[in-house]
A and B are shown apart, each in its own frame.
Chain A
Amino acid sequence: MGKIFQSFKMSMKSILGNKGRSALTMLGIIIGVASVIILTGIGGGATKVISDSMAEMGTKLITVNMMFQRNSTRSIGIEDMQEFLEDNPDLVSAMSPTLSGNVTAKSGRTNFNTSLSAYDSSYSEIQPNAAKLSSGRFLSDSDVSNRRYNCIVGSYIKEEMFGGLDPVGETIKLNGRQFNIIGCYEETSNSTENSSDNKVTIPYTTAMRFLKQARMNTFYFAATTEDEVENAVTALESFITKKLGTNTGFMVNSVAEMIDTLDEMMGTMTTMLAGIAAISLIVGGIGIMNIMTVTVSERTREIGIRKAIGARTTDILLQFLIESIVLSGLGGIVGIIFGIIIAAVVGNIISMQTVVQTDMVILSFTFSIVIGVFFGIAPARRAAKLNPIEALRSE
């Protein structure tokens, strides 16, 4: 132990005694480690942003999409979905057909395009996060069954058309048709025109008539619990397959599944990035081997002296190996510090929080140590094997 500490001290001395060269030698490792941390930090940040917004949609959400089935004699309608809901109370707790499109909203002299979505009253159960209101109420069962011309508006419409005052009780024209405003959504993203705050929601029954849609093609389900999501998806798939007589022409997706897919994709991407960074670490390692070889040649006489006064082969091996490990390890630490700083700066610039992954920090540091051992062993062995007589004779 004492000898290792001595070797460590000696290697620090020789590294600090040649600062410029040591810094250049470490540069490869520094860049490699820093890029691992920056790239995975950005990747991690992006994953977090996407999966957070997905989780916002509710992890119990299941979406059924029907493609147009022109030549098919059989089709799936609202009644079929209602039937599934009633038959599977242990799997799903709510269902809402849904429609979406763009309409022109007009009130007084203001008019602009807004995105329209149509749901059942149960939508507030399926996606409670997306149905939070700042005033008024959500669609009721009677709004749906009576095909009322009632709507809920986003906070952008409240700001633009009603000067920020409560719009409940006011009216709005959508594609020329007058609707009563019964509720207003909470602001979700600063009430700008191209954000999710520029929206209006009406009953799906009203929408079918209003948008002249005979059939619904998208249905939302809420699974009873997160654990039942997978079972519900499977049950829905076999239910629809049975009804259609084919397993094509529709898609059943769940948010949980999408998050899984996303995580998997991001994981693959992170691995790829780490692979690229690993290549630069290996290049850095070759730089270390290069310098260590030069160092051994330059210090042949020193090695001879050390051997003459009693250094064993292993002492010399350890000294040069530790020097190489200290070089790569220091490079790793400097790279981690730079990586964390640059990741934070880049995150600031692209206004996205970067997530520095602790396991990547540990992994890249470990890897740089391994590089030090791997690329240091050959020069260190060369040093250790030097014949003391010849080494002493060298200048």
Chain B
Amino acid sequence: MIKLEGITKVYKMGENEVRALDGVDLHIKPHEFVSIIGPSGSGKSTLMNMIGCLDVPTSGRYWIEGVEGSKMTDNQLADLRNKKLGFIFQQYNLLPKLSAVENVELPLIYRGIGATKRREMAEAALERVGLKDKMHHKPTELSGGQQQRVSIARALSSRPSLILADEPTGALDSKSGIEIMQMLHGLHKEGNTIVIITHDLGIAKQAERIVSIHDGRITSDIDNRENRASADNVNDGAVKADLDSGIGGEA
């Protein structure tokens, strides 16, 4: 479904070259629930940008559903993001002047879907996250957890191949964080492919598969289906200890 082969990204900072990603190979299969974990500066944001088609690599190749994204133009990448990807950001990134439902409609506008059909799809997505009754509220009238649910609805509305969540619980209190994670688990059960980027081990270990990244390289890639934590016990010390040995004491 998603395949990265020898992805390298080099940033030039004046005279210096920074290798944010250094030959990353990664294969994400359909219906997987993967977490990518790493400390800040590890290159996980750059990796997310690559997977999210927001950036093109310096070298290496990248495929999403058989389409090669590493050589695309800006506009082709935009279309790819629009059709195949749903983003969930730490800061929700809703447009403050638009109502919840208008925010959810936004990706559909860029896809060129007509107003009636668009509203139908947006309402269905909001219903899925349990916010249909608040569809005409502005983001500022909603709590953080509700805003994040709107942003999940926005990611869902375009029925993407992959939901890409960047620290989805980072700005939330623990109760809302658990709610959001439960929702992601629910979406996974419904057959969605989900990738979470986080530095929080408690979040990471809820995934089926944990990929750790350090200094632009993947340092471990473990199958976590056996030890998988549920959203309710994110602070389970025993699991944390298990994982700490597995991924080299990161996070």
Contact = CB atoms under 8 A, between A and B. Distances in A.
Contacts, number: 65
A35 B85 CA distance: 52
Given A308-B54, A308-B93, A309-B106, A3 B112 contact: yes
A160 interface: no
A388 B54 contact: yes
Given A302-B95, A308-B93, A313 B112 contact: no
Given A306-B106, A308-B87, A313 B78 contact: yes
B95 A305 contact: yes
B74 A313 contact: yes
Interface string A50-90: 00000000000000000000000000000000000000000
Interface in B95-122: 95, 97-98, 106-107, 109-112, 114-115
Contacts of A314: 75
A313 B77 CA distance: 10
B3 interface: no
Given A13-B97, A302-B95, A310-B110, A392 B89 contact: yes
Interface in A306-342: 306-315
A14 to B, nearest CB: 7
A309 B82 contact: yes
Given A2-B114, A13-B97, A388-B54, A310 B89 contact: no
Given A312-B75, A312-B78, A2 B110 contact: no
Contact of A309 (B74, B98, B107, B112): B107
A208 B229 CA distance: 125
Chain A's interface size range is 20 to 34
B49 A389 contact: yes
B83 interface: yes
Contacts of B98: 13
Contact of B75 (A3, A304, A309, A313): A313
B81 interface: yes
Contacts of A306: 106, 110
Contacts of B112: 2-3
B55 interface: yes
A6 interface: yes
Given A307-B78, A308-B87, A309-B87, A392 B109 contact: no
Interface of B: 49, 52, 54-55, 74-75, 78-79, 81-83, 87, 89, 93-95, 97-98, 106-107, 109-112, 114-115, 154, 158
Interface of A: 2-3, 6, 13-14, 17, 301-302, 304-315, 388-389, 392
11 contacts: A13-B97, A305-B95, A308-B54, A309-B82, A309-B110, A310-B79, A310-B107, A312-B74, A312-B79, A315-B78, A315-B110
